[in-house]
Amino acid sequence: MPVPSRRGRGTPWYEEGEEPDYRFSLANERTFLAWFRTGLALIAAALAVAQFVPPHARGAGGVALGAGLAVVGALLCTAAYFRWRSVQRAMRHKRPLPPSRLLPVLATGAALTGLGLLLLLVGAP
């Protein structure tokens, strides 16, 4: 008998379909943790910009760079969970894995960060 979910919609998503091979579930979890670590590293970089770049050199560009790093890091951590869940669901229902939206987000965020850092360094006295 299915266990009712908290929302009252029947079986929770993590009990739908068939249990996938545990190796695939563990690989999916490792991938989630890798994305999460990357997001945390971006947040740590934002903290480093805020704490270690001198205020006179930081200016508005440094604040924007730090804020951008923090936002991209937070979005990446959040998106990593939703990616993990969608892959887990696809495996439970024996469907093809969904395409990743994280790669373009990370690539764009890294490119903008690099460009921002370049502009910050070129503009510094």
DSSP result, the chain? -PPPPTTSSSS-GGGSS-PPPHHHHHHHHHHHHHHHHHHHHHHHHHHHHHHHS-HHHHHHHHHHHHHHHHHHHHHHHHHHHHHHHHHHHHHHTT-PPPPPSHHHHHHHHHHHHHHHHHHHHHH--
Q: Which of 49-53, 70-74, 89-93 has the lowest mean pLDDT?
A: 49-53
Per-residue pLDDT, averaged over 1-25, amounts to 73
Q: Find the angle CA(106)-CA(46)-CA(43) to the nearest 5 degrees.
A: 60
Residue 11, pLDDT > 90, answer no
pLDDT of residue 125: 57
Average pLDDT over all residues of the chain: 83
pLDDT of residue 42: 92
Residue 40, pLDDT > 60, answer yes
Each residue of 63-95: b (16+ CB within 10 Å) or e?
Answer: ebbbebbbebbebbbebbeebbebbbebbbeee
Residue 7, pLDDT > 70, answer no
Per-residue pLDDT, averaged over 117-124, amounts to 74
Q: Render pLDDT for 79-95 as a digit per residue (tens, 0 to 9).
A: 999 999 999 999 999 99
Residue 104, pLDDT > 60, answer yes
What does the alpha-carbon distance between residue 70 and residue 76 come to, in Å, rounded to a whole number? Answer: 10
| Confidence (pTM) | 0.74
